[in-house]
Structure formats: structure tokens, C-alpha cells
Amino acid sequence: METEIITPEAELEKKEILNRYRGLLRSCRYKLDDSDKKLIRKAFNISLEAHKNARRKSGEPYIYHPLAVARIVAEEIGLGAIAIACALLHDTVEDTDITLKDIEGMFGKKVASIIDGLTKISGVFDASSSLQAENFRKMLLTLAEDVRVILIKLADRLHNMRTLDSMERTKQLKIASETLYLYAPLAHRLGLNTIKSEMEDLSLKYTEPALFAEIAQKLKDTQAERTRYIHKFITPIREALHEQKFKFRIFGRPKSVYSIWNKMKNKGVPFEEVFDIFAIRILIDSPSEQEKSDCWRVYSLVTDYYYPNPDRLRDWISTPKANGYEALHTTVMGPNGQWVEVQIRSERMNEVAEKGYAAHWKYKQGGHGEEDPLEEWLKKIRTSLENPDSNALDFINDFKLNLFADEIFVFTPKGEMRSLPVNSTSLDFAFDIHSQVGAKCIGAKVNHKLVPLSHKLNSGDQVEILTSSKQAPKADWINYVVTAKAKAAIKALLKEERNKQAAEGREILKRKMSHLKIDFNDENINKITAFLKLQDSQELFYRAALERVTNKELKEYLEAKDDKTNNQAQNQGPTLEELVSKARGKQDTLMIGDNMQNLEYKLSPCCNPIPGDDVFGFITVHEGIKIHRVNCPNAIALLSNHAYRIVKAKWTSQKLISFLAGIKITGIDKIGLVNKITQIISKELNVNMRYISFDTNDGTFEGNMMVFVHDTAHLTDLMKKLQKVDGVVKVTRIDTNN
């Protein structure tokens, strides 16, 4: 075969590609036979040829990416030859001339269906839809057939996150937010703990770079002190385990930057006050029949030396998590009055916790006999995927709701245990048993007491469902349930009922239109639907059945029929192009879009952005461009689901305008304190207040205020001055829009 490579750089690249390919083969955790090697080689050759002229944003040959994804699939997830081949080919159909039919011809139906699941949907969706959600739904639908699609997609996303440096800031924000919103929870649910933690850390690194760097630096600075403490803590336990002849490993490991940040955020404390910065892990090498009793023996040894917190014992050995995770977690009082989390698990449990689904199946082939929790979860997901015609965004939100939820364990009257997400109701339980039981549910008995459909269940409850053949699902049932299965079933049942009513409504409307001499045709139906500002003709027929479309409204439509331009202006929101190009004449503080223009915008009330905040613009359908802070509670969902409607936004210096910001102050109640605080705000810094309230309770106080500031520097200066007031313990910014 004659070579086209001539330059020394190209020669070096060719060598590097071959090195990476050999590295991939070496990293396979399962022994490959000749047919496996042949399959991987064939996939590599085709991918290499297909991507030969392509480069990544970093300037590297594109083939580096599929090779890296295949290596994550082989080494970090532990999948076999078919998945490795699919990882090598995963971008070919989307980015090159190769078609799905070509893949099927060369590799067969199984590989083609996995590649199809990994290929993004092309096409245009309406403004209220979300391309990201549509793509994510398409990928999830293949989960019913082959979980490898999701695992390869997670590997692909992880490598994209690892190489996000070469992307521009807006792209980084979109990809990192989507990862945090959808992919990290999915990795968690499939038991890929290591991948989930890395995804979360990398997402934080790009969404909040300064915060990430600060926590990472503090972890580094406290490392030596932490190492000494861990050594002191584990020395007596290590000796006791040796005495008891355990084969074990014991070590301390710091929590991820993301989980530390989460604790700081949720508890409102600085880094120094997060007590469980690290966890002690004890891994024992025990035969499977002794694992459970050995873990409890180790727990007993640990609590001989350190006093346990009775509220912090978690037994995931007797009832594993839905993602297959098994371990004993306890929190004990260590030296120097410090609470320390201790995790106890076997080497098998550890591999399942770190490597997830693939390791899980490796051990399952040995067989434990009982129903597998991960398979149970997949079964539930498959059930909720049976109704894929719902709105893609609703589908993703319902699915996500069930991804990260903690679980409760409840029992049927016969003692069968079922796991449900926290906050599940008796109606969720009814649908979990069967959709027909849910549809006919009128109430339940929880621990032999009668409760309504909306009753929230707790772990250990025994639930008996009461049904009636006369019962039919109601629209407000959606508010009583949290599980994706129940939501999907209720929506399907309501839709069925609505379709029946719409069919009756169609006939009613036909008679009314005939009476007013309006032709009953598609054109008029669409025009009436638009005139009444309804979603579609189905909604029109449904309203007609409920007698909500009156003769008066039809007459008004007739009068306005000729005025088409007025009608369109009334019913159509501005297009994206119109919104983005609508320039603002007056002086402003915010530049928007790639060309940094002055455009019309509104500041979003959910996060009250002020100049100096890291912000982005979101193009709404009816309200123009709304500005959100990057760390706004809604930002991750917006960036993830509607990335194509995000525009850049950047503050320019502007001292003439004041913006509203919220501050919360807590501390020890002292005489004259409120006076000092208000003096600093109004006199020293000339800040206007719009709202102030103070509450005192047994010698402590909490104050909330809304003040007008120019930018973040102004706000930070104010907060620093307030922090110095004698008696003030903490000053934080709040997002409350009073």
C-alpha cells in the first residue's frame, strides 16, 4: 500500500496514532481472542480512513478522539470488543460519508443499532422544543435494547470534558452544564462513580473556574495536615484488622471538589467548616458468602475505637442502592473532636462501585440468585420509555427526577419489598405495581391506616392499594406523583380520555360553524385555532366539547378574518433573528452576542444579575433576551436543554445605573448593631436600601436586605465592611427578589 505521508510531522503523527492504538489493545480488561482483535482492528482502520482529513479544535488529528473514547470504554468501564469497536466508529455516521447501511454491511445489525443510538438527530425543531432533549431521548430509547449505547456516550462525553480547554467560553458553558444536568446523574445511576465524580469536577471547573481553583488550592494546602490526621486515625484500626487476620486495604481519600462545593453551598459554610473533606475507606478481601458478616465485623472493630453517630449509619449491604452500590457507611468521632466518615466494603463491592455496570455484570454471571437491583432499575426505565411520544423536555425532566433521587423501601401486604424514589406517594406505589392498579386507585392503607392518594410514603411502610372500577384518572394526579413511570402512565391515560372528548368536540364545533355558515375545513380550523391563541386543533376540539368555544368567539373570528396582518402580529411571537437584531438606542451596560452589540434585554428575577457577574443571555420565545447569572439556579437546565438559544453577554463599565442585590447577615445580637449596619450602608458607601428586616432569637440575629449597587465590586466592598462589624458572623449574597 503506497503511503501519502511525506512530512516529518505527518510521520510523527502516524507513529503516535499507532502507539495509541497499541495502548488501547493493552488496556482491555478482558482477554481478547483473535476474532475480537480482528473486529477492533477493522473498526480502527475504517475510522482512521473516514476521519483522515479531520482535525479537532485543538489541532490534533480527529482519530485521537475515537481512540481515547475506546480506551475509556475498555479500561475505565471494562466493556468488551463490540463496545470498543463501536466507540472507534461512534462519530463516523454523523461526521463522515459512511452511512448506517455501510456499518450494518461491514459489522452487522448489533453494531449498526448501537451506532444509530449514538448518532445525533439532524433537523429543525420548533422554538419551544429542545434539540438537546430530543437527542438525549433518542439515546435513552436505545437503553431498552442495549445499555452499551449509554456507556459509550458517557465515555465520549468524559473525553470531551477532558479536552474542553480548546473550546471557546460559551461552548464550554453549554457542554459543562449539559454534563452536570444529564450525564453525571446517568453515570451515577449506572454505578460509574469514578466517571461521575470526574464529570462533576470538570463541569465545575468550566462553569465556576475561580471557585474550582480556590477549593482545589485549599485541598492542596491542607494535604499534609490531612495526611497526618488520617495516619493517626487509621493506625489503631489497622493493628486490630491485622490481629483479626483480615486481608484488607485501608486508606483516606479526599472528597471531590464538586461534592465539597455542594456541601459549602447547601450548608452555607466556608471550606474550613466542611467537616467531611475526606473519607476513610476499608476494603476487605473476603469470599462472597462471608462478605456481609465480615463487613459488620469490621464495623464492630472501628466502633471499638471511635464513637459512632447513630443517625449516620447507612446499610447498603442488606439493601443495595438501585445502581448496585453496596457498602456500610458510618460517621465516627475521631481524634481532636472531628467527625470522620468511614466506608466499609469488599473488593468486589469496590469494583462494582468504581467501574459500575460492566463490573456488576462480571460478578452477576456467578449469580447470587436474587433479583438484581440494577436490572430492576433498567426494567423501570424501559417501562417509562414505552410512552416516547410525550414532549421531549417533559420526558427528560421526569427521567432526571428519578435519576438522582434517594430511595425508600416499602412493602406490599404480602411482604414483597419495592424501592421507590424519596417523596413517592401512595399513588406512585399503585402505578409501580401496575398501570391499571394506578388508574383505578381511590386511596390506600399505609400501616393499616386509610390515607389519600397524595400521602407521602416513608421507608418501612406497608402499603395496600384500594381500587374502584368507577375511578378514572384526574388531571391533578400529575401533582401527586414523582416517579417517571406514574407520570408517563397518567399522561397517557389523560391523553386517551382527551382524544375521546376531542372527537366529540369536533362534531359539536362542526355544527356551530355550519350554523354560522363557516366552512368546516383545515384552513378555517387552523385560523380559528390561531385566533383563539390555542396550541393546536386538538385543543380547539377539546374546548368545544367542554362548551368553551362559544358562538360569540366564532363571530369575532369572522369579523377579524379579513385583517390578516393584524391577526399574524397578534398571534406570532418575534423570531430569534428579530430579537437578536433589535438594537437598543440608548446607553447600556451589557453587550450581547458574538459581535457584542447593544441589544434589548431584561434582567432575570430568578437570580438578579448585577454588573460584574458572569452572565449569559437567553432568547425567550415572547419576552426577548433575558440575562441570567452563570451560577443561577436555573442556568444549568437552560444551558443544557436550550443551548442554541444562548447568546454571550458581557458587562461594560457603567457607574450611573444602580442594580438591586440581596444580602443576608447573621451574628450575635448586640445593642446598636442594626444602627451600625444601616450607617455603613447608607452613609459610608452611599448605598440606597429598598428593603430591610431583622429577626432576633435567643441572642442571635438574622437580617435580610435589598440594596442598590453599581456592580459586583461595589457589592463585595459593602459585604467586606459589614463583615468587620463587631457581632457579625457571616455576610452572604442572596437571590431573593423581594
Q: Known catalytic residues?
A: 94-95
Q: Which residues contact 700 (CB under 8 A, 6 or more apart)?
A: 666, 667, 668, 669
Closest by CA to 666, choosing from 704, 706, 708, 698, is 704
Q: Are 132 and 140 in contact (CB under 8 A)?
A: no
3-class DSSP assignment, residue 411: strand
Q: Is the dihedral of CA 386, 387, 391, 396 positive or negative?
A: negative
Measured between alpha carbons, how far is 680 from 676 in angstroms, rounded to an integer?
6
59's torsion region: left (phi>0), alpha (psi -120 to 50) or beta? Answer: left
User: Phi and psi for 346 in degrees, rounded to 5?
Assistant: -85, 170
User: How far apart are alpha carbons 39 and 41 in whole angstroms?
Assistant: 6
Residues 182, 640: contact at Cβ < 8 Å? yes
* Alpha carbons 423 and 481: distance in angstroms, whole number: 9
DSSP track, 586-640: S--SEEETTTTB-B-EEE-TTT---TTS-EEEEE-SSS-EEEEETT-TTHHHHHH
- Is the separation of the CB atoms in 376 and 416 below 8 Å? no
C-alpha cell, 209: 473556574
Distance CA 303, CA 211 (A): 36
State the CB neighbour count (10 A cutoff) for residue 588.
17
Specify whether the CB–CB gap between 47 and 89 falls below 8 A.
yes
Phi, psi of 56 (to 5 degrees): -85, 170
